[in-house]
Structure 1
């Protein structure tokens, strides 16, 4: 096969036994990567265990002439995260790519959601991301190379009914990715976020009859590109849904500066405060944090010099 290859690269895919993770694992392996297919085989709610999903994907990869190993540890614990990364290091001696895709769903209206259901979802999605990133990141930095892809969702960007736990976890993923991108930049380690939309078992119970094609295979090329050595993006968010690939950004309005504010002033200037006709987008890398502060401070300095802002 010509084109972008992953020969001699080692990839870990969490939640790799079904759906999106399976599509990622198969495409990475098909492009030459050695793949650790991680999946404990739990139910959609995170209950139980079944080695068959991970084993079946490994069997598909090896039948096609690729190399893969199954790992059924759970990302939900620090010990599980360590074991998942160790599976790559022990079997192949390195880790070049980490795709955190593992996830569960426990739906409930916010007014009824239990603490246990909230924590269980964060344990897999957000804490799970930390558990595997924390183990892989130092090794990647020491090697001077790494590609990390973390999974958010439309719910993480915009929210959705009945999934406060899922939305909170997926929003947190973006913050974690940004820090990994910043701290990895000097060591050749990138970290980006994929926001996938596909019909998988997470769509169980939804009427998808009017949906356009939304197979996981439509998402996998975007994830695989983010995982490739030729990808220089870091600290970014790509959306992949129904054949559409796009970039999502955190944007600010230019805003309004005044030397002092009253409560009434805020209401009177609300239209200008909220005006995003000329949005500000600060790239995470090299230092959006400082750019954000610097822009605000510059407005204050200009006001002090008599320059009026709205």
Structure 2
């Protein structure tokens, strides 16, 4: 991995802590110039007035790498364009954008406010759009580039109290696929990955009941650094043939997720009525209905 990104410039959003920090350091170790974006906010997205991006830059420089800190919000269109432009002016190019910035406003749906919803959508979904859209013209001009977007099993499968987060993370999957389709002719690729890692975001999970304690114990085994090699590989030239895919990384396990396709079909030559839908279609399909699983109901085994 030491020279896989030599001569490349990689921008990592949310790069000051957790998964983002691990990716930023790994990209630098692999030879990339790294733009580390981190606004410096609380878990809920409120400003703390201090960005950890500068500390990550110091770590990269201490290992002999080159890096800059970008402390603007990905949720702001103008700021996103400014950060991409600053990166290009500093290093001469932009070759990969890793959209990792995020926040949480976990609230049960019937109590979720508009602000709870908008705040999460703005950082995850809108932020991913802003940064990707700002980089797209540069990727098009140079006939190449890589996007890697963070999704989540909360969106792919489901979770309690996260309607805002689930919507954003599943929306990112759709956006990633659309980018892959639109930009393929320019040699640009776009993929999504669901990281499993014990970070500041998942550390907010309740830890009170025996079931919750068991879940948290399992999550604490998931270290952010395990995702970094995958991220470096995916934005390297060696993976330039891979686009439009959805992956997962859980410690030493790497997954390729399925994408929505029809699994059952019902046909009626004379068309349907509400009554025949009830009488014929639903009984035909019931054995294949998906249960209301949460992410933890699907990934039940211990991480390895």
Q: Does 1:230 align with 2:238?
A: yes
1:221 and 2:229 aligned: yes
**Aligned position for 2:256:** 247
Structure 1: gaps spanning 5 or more residues: 277-310
Give a deviation string over 1:63-109, Cα, whole Å, max 9, x none: 01111111101101101211221121110121100000000001111
Deviation at 1:31, TM superposition (A): 0.2
1:124 aligns with 2:126: no
1:138 CA drift (Å): 1.3
Aligned partner of residue 269 in structure 1, secondary structure: helix
Gaps spanning 5+ residues in structure 2: where?
A: 206-212, 289-304
Confirm whether residue 263 of structure 1 aligns to residue 271 of structure 2: no
Number of the residue aligned with 1:158: 157
Q: Is the 8 A contact 2:54 2:69 kept in 1?
A: yes
Q: Cα distance, 1:236 vs. partner?
A: 0.6
Look at both structures and tell me which one has the larger radius of gyration over its CA atoms.
1
- The CA deviation string for residues 110-154 of structure 1, in whole angstroms up to 9 with x for no partner, is 101110111011110000011111100111011100000011101
> If the length of structure 1 is used for normalisation, what is the TM-score?
0.84
Q: Say which is worse superposed, 227-236 or 254-263, in terms of deviation.
A: 254-263
How many angstroms apart in 1 are the aligned matches of 2:204 and 2:93? Answer: 40
Higher relative contact order at CA 8 Å, sep ≥6: structure 1 or structure 2? 2
What SS does the corresponding residue of 2:201 show, helix, strand or coil?
helix
Could you tell me which residue of structure 2 aligns to residue 62 of structure 1? 61
Kept in 2: contact 1:19–1:216 (CA 8 A): yes
- The whole-number CA distance in structure 2 between the counterparts of 1:164 and 1:155 is 9
CA distance in 1, matches of 2:37, 2:154: 24
- Alignment deviations for residues 39-67 of structure 1 (CA, whole Å, 9 cap, x no partner): 01111111114444101111111101111
Q: In structure 1, what is the Cα distance between the partners aligned to 2:97 and 2:189?
A: 10
Q: How many residues align?
A: 276
Contact 1:214 1:243 in 2 (8 A): no
Instruction: Kindly indicate whether the alpha-carbon contact (under 8 Å) linking 2:198 and 2:219 is maintained by their aligned counterparts in 1.
Output: no
Q: Shift in Å at residue 166 of structure 1?
A: 0.7
Distance 2:286 2:27 in 1: 43
- 2:84 pairs with 1:73: no
State the alpha-carbon separation in 1 of the partners of residues 100 and 219 from structure 2. 23
Aligned position for 1:188: 187
**Partner-residue secondary structure (3-state), 1:106:** coil
Label 1:211 to 1:134 Cα distance change in 2 as closer, same or farther (>3 A).
closer
CA root-mean-square deviation: 1.8
Contact 2:99 2:128 in 1 (8 A): yes
2:208 alignment counterpart: none
Tell me if structure 2 keeps the 8 A contact 1:20–1:198: yes
Deviation at 1:271, TM superposition (A): 5.0
Q: Is the 8 A contact 1:23 1:217 kept in 2?
A: yes
CA distance in 2, matches of 1:52, 1:202: 16
Determine the structure 2 residue equivalent to 1:297: none
**Is 1:41–2:40 an aligned residue pair?**
yes
* C-alpha separation in 1, matches of 2:220 and 2:126: 33
1:22 and 2:31 aligned: no
| Counterpart residue number, 1:97 | 96
C-alpha contact 2:180 2:190 (8 A) present in aligned 1: yes
Structure 1 pair 161–71 and aligned structure 2 pair: CA distance change class (3 A): same
Q: Secondary structure at the match of 1:87?
A: helix
Specify the SS of the correspondent of 1:180: helix
> In the alignment, which residue of structure 2 is the partner of 1:167?
166
